[in-house]
Structure 1
Amino acid sequence: MQVRALLVEAGRELAAAGVPDALLEARVLAEYALGLNRVQLITEAARDVAQEAIVRMRAAVARRASGEPLAHITGQREFYGRPFRVTPHTLVPRPETELLVEESLQRLPRGGCFADWGTGSGCVGITLAAERPDCRGLLLDYSAEALSVARENACALDVATRLRLIRGDMLRPCLGGNRFDVICSNPPYIAPQEVLDVMPEVRRHEPAQALFSEDNGLRHIRALIAGAGPALKPGGWLLLEHGAGQGAAVREALAQGNFAAITTQHDLAGQERCSLGQKICLVTYQIN
């Protein structure tokens, strides 16, 4: 069987299974299973495929057609232009989370220090370190398996020497006082009662502890707001990704946490996606 025919077969099977962008995903699986890059898939379309590669390709297509995430099959997902290893112990990085990175980069001073709470694959914190070689950071996650993945990604992208990875509970964050210029997080924010609204491949294959939060999806966000105040330097920033309908509640929680300059940024789909606030600088005056 030729490369072209195998791609057509894969695209049809994925489309029949209801996979969005079936042809695009067929090409990604072909790159993974056949060991060809995007150019070779075109220039070598008439090439015969070895039987073991056909078996490998069809197995990958069957996994995707059954609903397994593409990133779990290939073992990686691109984020902010870099490849990140992912496993079932981490969330699959999503394009909308790049907004959290962009907003954090704008507020991270030269030589600054940041923390990424609930780092998962490390895509946010590692990207900050890669984009800003002058800065150092701390990556925190409750999952030892996720931290192992994040450590691999940090080493692969050559930023490990500027990052410290620790295991910790997002609901009881304790990172010391006045240490960070920026704290950012993509925390669990889906309410448990909304589980059936989540895409089946996400709720079946991605870690529930990284998706769901009690108190209408706000328990982790409120804990982070409470813990960020003492950990931030005066004038430092807290940035939180959240659900499209949670902007008003997150802004209210930031205000109750004595943050200033509170605002919400929208993603490319026009949805409220990232809310942020600044730790108030207290100015004291000495009267002679």
Structure 2
Amino acid sequence: MNEPARILVLTHDDDPTADVVLSMLNVRGTPFVRCDPGNFPMAMRMTACLGTGAGSWRGSMTGAFRGIDLGSVRAVYYRRPSEFRVPDGTAKHDRDFVTAQARHGLSGVLAGLAEVTWLNHPGAMADARMKPYQLAVAARCGLRAPETLVTNDPFAVREFAIQVGGRIITKSLATMITVDDDLGSGVLYTAEVAEELWSDPGIAVTAHLFQELVDGVDVRMTVVGDQVFATEIHPTNPDGPIDIRAHHEDVSYVPVSVPSPSEPRRSSCWVGCG
């Protein structure tokens, strides 16, 4: 196969954000192939070879989408692909084996393609999801992080709360979807911790993240190459939940400028962790 250079788009079938990006690629005449890795291995085939002395994999991926020559991939847009699937009724130990093999096989081959630009690389995304690591990197880059505690010691939480002035929040260390028999499923949002819960014995069960409560306006930044785009997010109800995500669509957006590295930092500017 000798195909023109293409963008490989890895996302689930119903992602509206990817739809917008791909519509612009169509307008620009940029060739791409879209597929969902979750369809592998049930509805997708991959064959890849690495020859002696070769620096990259060669082969192809085929499925319901039009196939793609791995050698033609010059960029990968990685946008929330679905989980790998196996046939219904597969025993758990077989299911675990199949999905692990699929993840390491398909993902490993794609990660091993030479001279390919990723947006964003799964490894970098995995690092960014680790909030303690994320905050430490931000601090080393000169950004101000709130006073933060990671612990499973209930007594340490009370001491921390007193130290930072008596108002603290907690947020999940990993992105979590909670499931309740009565309320259904939902995201575990950031919330203020009441004083009577500062020494809750349940804290000892696992690691928890706590931060001092910092009042202000939520600003989200997106970085594309060397360009930084920032937007303030204002809730319709200022007295609602602390976590801006809990307001869903009841928000308004205001673009804001980002100070250059040579400009003095605003004393009220803090970096959080998503």
Q: Where on the TM-score scale, by shorter chain, does this alignment land: which range?
A: under 0.3
TM-score, scaled relative to structure 2: 0.28
Considering only CA atoms, is the larger Rg found in Structure 1 or Structure 2? 2
Normalized per residue, the structure richer in helix is 1
TM-score, scaled relative to structure 1: 0.27
Normalized per residue, the structure richer in strand is 2
